[in-house]
Amino acid sequence: ASITLIFFYLVWIIAPMFAPAKITPAGVFDLNIADPIYLDASENIEIGAAFSASGDIQFWNLANGETIARQSVGRPLQRVIPIQPATATYGLIDPEGNFMIMTASYPVAFSGEERRIDARLDPLFDDDWLPLSIQGNVQAYFEADRLVIAEVSDELIVRYFPEAEADLPLVKPRVARLSLPARFEHLRFGPRGRLLFLMDRAGRLLIVELNRMGAPTLAIEQQLLPPGAGVTAAEVLVGGYSLMLAGTDNSLTQWFATTTNGQLQPIRRFEFDSEIRQILPEPRRKGLVVIDDEGHMHLLHTTSNRIMAEYTLSNGVNQVTALSPRADLLLRIGNRGAVHSYQ
């Protein structure tokens, strides 16, 4: 059993670090999606999903571009966020700050030898929209029966829903607030949803601990960037144990928590010719895709500490972008509704 475990570890974790890699265009889908705000792909990259600001969702076949299903949530959307650490589960936010968690499913049916796949979006809980009046950056974490919705702007607001079970109504949340020394724009969950990373544009980091009831306590305050530098993008890698921070000095640094004082320490640094604008971590491994100011897309693997592949985009920089759950497909969509795919 131990030999088998070692074998799968080598195949899944070690081999990708040294295997040759490349990024190639896989196709363009002219879906005519107006005002796109979020993209995703199914686990097996068979179906794509596009959310628009009007509240419409379009599912299409990633092999031939055929529309599989259309759906509306019945109201405009301001933002869509992924619910960590799940896949195909989304937090929808309308212009008034109301919040709804929905999950995508892709049922398969057979008629004789004909296989048909459908797609739909359903509420995760038996609730209407939650009137949370969200104004700042928001992230959500749902695992087992624990749902935490965190929001940051001039203060940190943590809403903890105990005994959250799918298909059942949510109980009234416990709400806790933490005053902040300034306005913080970046917010991400750390390991097991028990930590929060807050960061402002100047690279000041706050690490906030959440107790069993979701109450926040400031644990660490740390400056990650030198004076005069700024943050262009920030994300956590799988599991939330390390933070990827892109700065105005054209760098991308991986920060990791130490066991001595809990502060983050830089362990890897990548240099580029221009500023990084988007960071897309692999959902299940330590790789990531970054896109810089000049439209170059870079495939990285942090453990091997190298840039594995590069590709120059021809369709702009600030576009809605998604990396599939298995990191084997990347989707980008522009305002004209055409989706470009890369493998």
Q: Are 196 and 207 in contact (CB under 8 A)?
A: yes
pLDDT grade, residue 342 (50/70/90)? Answer: very high
pLDDT grade, residue 61 (50/70/90)? Answer: very high
Return d(Cα 73, Cα 54) in angstroms, integer. Answer: 9
> pLDDT at residue 1 above 80?
no
Helix (H/G/I), strand (E/B), else coil: 328: coil
User: Could you tell me what percent of the chain has a pLDDT over 90?
Assistant: 67
Return d(Cα 24, Cα 315) in angstroms, integer. Answer: 14
- Asked if omega into 191 is within 30° of 0 (cis), the reply is no
pLDDT grade, residue 104 (50/70/90)? Answer: very high
> pLDDT at residue 11 above 70?
no
Query: Dihedrals φ, ψ of 8, to 5°?
Result: -65, -35
Average pLDDT over residues 136-158: 93
* Mean per-residue pLDDT of the chain: 89
Nearest Cα neighbor of 323 from 266, 253, 238 is 238
Q: Are 61 and 49 in contact (CB under 8 A)?
A: no
- Residue range 192-226, pLDDT digits in tens: 999 999 999 999 999 999 988 888 999 999 999 99
* Order of strands, sheet of 155-161, starting from the edge strand that comes earlier in the sequence: 120-123, 99-105, 89-93, 79-84, 137-143, 146-152, 155-161, 174-179
Return d(Cα 65, Cα 306) in angstroms, integer. Answer: 34
Res 284: pLDDT? 79
Res 54: pLDDT? 96
pLDDT grade, residue 335 (50/70/90)? Answer: low
CA 311, distance to chain mean position in Å, is 22
Res 213: pLDDT? 82
β-partners of residue 271 are 251
Distance in angstroms between the alpha carbons of the first and the last residue of the chain: 34
Structure tokens at 11: 């195949």
Nearest Cα neighbor of 41 from 327, 286, 313, 314 is 327
Return d(Cα 82, Cα 84) in angstroms, integer. Answer: 6
Number of residues that this document lists for the chain: 343
- Write out the H or E segment, with its range, that includes residue 5: helix 2-9
Res 135: pLDDT? 84
Cβ neighbours of residue 123 under 8 Å, at least 6 residues apart? 100, 101, 102, 103
> pLDDT at residue 7 above 60?
no
- Degrees, nearest 5: CA angle 36-59-334: 25
Judged on CB neighbours under 10 Å (0-12, 13-18, 19+), 307 is middle
Average pLDDT over residues 160-188: 93
Other Cβ atoms closer than 10 A to 100: 20
Average pLDDT over residues 265-273: 94
